[in-house]
Structure 1
Amino acid sequence: MFGNDNFVPLVLINLLGIAGIVVWHIQGGNRPTGRLIVQILFFTNMSLVLYLGGIAPHRPDGIYTQGPAALLSKSARILWWTHLAWTIIGFIQIYVRLNRKPREAHLIQDMAIAVIYLGVALSVIGFVFGMPVGTLVATSGVIAVIFGLALQNTLGDVFSGIALTLGRAYAIGDWVQLNDGTEGRVIETTWRSTNLLTVTNNVVVLPNSILAKQGVTNLSRPDETHLIALRVRIAATQRPRVVEEVMRSVLRASVRIVKDPPPVVALKAIDAIAIEVELQFRVDSVAIRTPAKNEIVDLLHDQCRASGLSLAMPAESLAFVPAPIGNQYLAESRPVSVTVP
């Protein structure tokens, strides 16, 4: 269509490439779909002009090798490779948004974008400027080894973050607990660290390499509900059946706990002093476990008083003391006030 002279298609490709960059920036980052449409339209038109002009972007220009025409030829090929990279990246970003991937997926997305840009850069160096890519890769490999040794800890955090993201152990918004007792809600994940917001409203920054070595309990899966077990000792002055019914009335009166599945009253132990009961109930999320537990304790106090039940002393405060019988001593168990360390 354009004949043997490639000057006109090269000019058109440069104009389309520059116009595509301008329109791409005008669209803004808040309109990824619009940006992708612009990228596809301009990239398609540039590819069509290349095809009609008989220009191969994967081969150096054999016609214009010197002067302004050579510069025009190289810039046209660079713009085409750049728009190719942007089009592929646009499809990746749209795929992530449409599939509603978690926010931490930007780690994998950033890695994919880096690989695309690296591939395009090597293509431009090899196909546009005709430089030996193999030699460049070998040289850069030596440099990469040097940087890798110098940045071992940083690279460990990066790859640990990628492994945690691929494993999907947690997502943004999940409440997690570590083996060392640290717990909080995941608010951000970066290449190097994961940030947790604790109940004390502090942000704990955990390097990904340390997080990967610890056991992580995800308290938000399979759902946000959280089980709480509260043990209480009731003086053994009433039948266990009566104690159980009073404990059930406490759970029924609560407005902060989850009623489905229903809470459970478990009679754990009995001795001459007390009946040990465990109240098992769920709350909607870990964040409200303290208010819910406080409510149960308050209701427990009122219901025991209204039902004539007494709280028994903790087992740790019971001691065996000798009881005198004449000149003999008989060991008996009596509650005494002792200081428990």
Structure 2
Amino acid sequence: MFGDDNFVPVILVNLLGTAGIVVWHIQGGNRPTSRLLVQILFFTGMSLVLYMAGIAPHRPDGLYTQGFGALLSKSARILWWTHLAWAIIGFIQIYFRLNRKPREARLIQDMAIAIIYLGVALSVIGFVFDMPVGTLVTTSGVIAVIFGLALQNTLGDVFSGIALTLGRAYAIGDWIHLTDGTEGRIIETNWRSTNLLTVTHNVVVLPNSILAKQGVTNLSRPDETHQIAVRVRIAATQAPRLVDEVMRSVLQSSVLIIKNPPPVVVLKAIDAIAIEVELQFHVDSVAVRTPARNEIVDLIHDQCKVGGLSLAMPAESLAFVPAPMGNNAAVSNDSFISIDLGRRR
């Protein structure tokens, strides 16, 4: 065996493969580019040695059938397939990092890595150990069906997560609003769930299957500019043009809203009691909605005092009461009376 021409190449491939594993672990995962380059160098060296020795790792081993030589030959082929898998995985990781979306594509990346490892494992079983892969795949399929029936909910979350990732409805850092009222910024996505950070600084964990069934409004696209509308009722004692001027001064005095696109004052309605006004403005981030709304409300209060405007009663608190008919009637015309309808029994 020691005089065989194939023994030295097999030993050299084992040494290169083992050294590659050691260097791969020493470099760590924080330097993916250099790690990939070293991996490619070791894999190329192993491939050249096998090629020059006339050894094909993709065909069943016929060099040694037993003893220490068979062990070295099989380990060399296993190391070659392992380094091939790592080299392909390295290219995939570099690709996602160059796209600058490594966290959003985590599910796709994990799925691709799992497929690569599965393919390499089947190749090792078939080409190195010369076992019937077809029978193994058939048996694995039966086992997969059993596990699939037992893990229906978990698999539903997994495939929903893949579908959401491929659909690119949102990304890490986006602020979303769901049809059930849940709202928050996405801080993490994984195989089973998506985590939202709400305005109350709580983390909401949503299973992907539930998230896929709801309507999702992405408040961060095309950008995080968000429109807010504040309605106010002004007593109809002043001219509408004066109300418009005062409300415009409110919007101009604000420091939390953005001026492009310009804010708008809309006179929505007028009756004998009030002029209904709507202030429409934008903020540059969903996170400042509440501070901006509070500032506008405070400015409305101050500017109404300066401009001589009075706030009108809410429409819900006004009730129409017909004037009493008779000789003793004190009022001849119908009148409006303020009633707090929320306290009526």
Q: Alignment partner of 2:105: what SS?
A: helix
What code does the residue aligned with 2:40 have?
A: I
- Residue 253 of structure 2 is matched in structure 1 by 253
Tell me which amino acid in the other structure corresponds to 1:338: D
Q: Residues 38 and 322 from structure 1, CA distance in 2 versus in 1: closer, same or farther, beyond 3 angstroms? A: same
Alignment of 1:143-292 (within 5 A): 143-292=143-292
Name the amino acid aligned to 2:334: E
SS in 1 for 2:341: coil
Counterparts of 1:226 and 1:30 in 2: how far apart (Å)?
37
2:337 maps to 1:335: yes
Q: Is the aligned partner of 1:78 residue 2:63?
A: no
Q: Deviations over 1:282-302 (max 9, x none)?
A: 111111111110000000000
Report SS of the residue matched to 1:334: strand
Determine the structure 2 residue equivalent to 1:89: 89
Q: What do residues 175-221 of structure 1 show as CA deviations (whole Å, max 9, x unaligned)? A: 11110101011010110000111111111100000000011111111
TM-score normalised by length of structure 1: 0.97
Task: Please state how far the C-alpha of 1:322 moved relative to its aligned partner.
Answer: 2.8
Number of residues of Structure 1 aligned to a counterpart in Structure 2: 339
Amino acid corresponding to residue 19 of structure 2 in structure 1: A
1:326 Cα deviation from its structure 2 partner: 4.8
Quote the Cα distance in structure 1 between the aligned partners of 2:141 and 2:203.
Answer: 38
Q: CA RMSD in A?
A: 1.4
Unaligned runs of 5+ in 2: none
Deviations 1:259-294 (A, max 9, x none): 111111111111111110100111111111111100
- Partner residue, 1:35: 35
CA contact (8 A) 1:320 1:331 kept: no
Deviations 1:217-256 (A, max 9, x none): 1111110111111000011111111111111110000000
The answer as to whether partners of 2:158 and 2:192 remain within 8 angstroms in 1 is yes
The 5 Å alignment of 1:104-123 reads: 104-123=104-123
Residue-by-residue CA offset, 1:9-52 (whole Å, 9 max, x unaligned): 00000000000000111111100011101110000000000110
CA–CA separation in structure 2 for the residues paired with 1:195 and 1:204: 6
Change (3 A) 1:331 1:214: farther
Q: Does the C-alpha gap of structure 1 residues 331 and 41 become closer, same or farther in structure 2, counting only changes over 3 Å?
A: farther
Inter-partner Cα distance in structure 2 for 1:106 and 1:269 = 52
What is the match of residue 58 of structure 1?
A: 58
1:231–1:277: 8 Å Cα contact kept in structure 2? yes
* Distance in 1, Cα, partners of 2:67 & 2:4: 19
Question: What is the alpha-carbon distance in structure 2 between the residues aligned to residue 39 and residue 337 of structure 1?
Answer: 80
Taking only the aligned residue pairs, the percentage that are identical comes to: 83
- The one-letter code sitting in structure 1 at the alignment partner of 2:109 is Q
Contact 1:321 1:331 in 2 (8 A): no
Aligned amino acid, residue 96 of structure 1: F
Runs of 4+ that moved beyond 6 A? none
Any gaps of 5 or more consecutive residues in structure 1?
none
Distance 1:44 1:331 in 2: 100
Q: How far 1:330 sits from its partner (Å)?
A: 5.5
Q: Is the 8 A contact 2:321 2:336 kept in 1?
A: yes
TM-score (ref. length: structure 2): 0.96
Q: Which moved more, 1:228-237 or 1:99-108?
A: 99-108
- Check 1:335–1:222 CA distance in 2 against 1; reply closer, same or farther (3 A cut): farther
Change (3 A) 1:318 1:137: same
Determine whether 1:20 maps to 2:39. Answer: no
Distance 1:55 1:238, change over 3 A: same
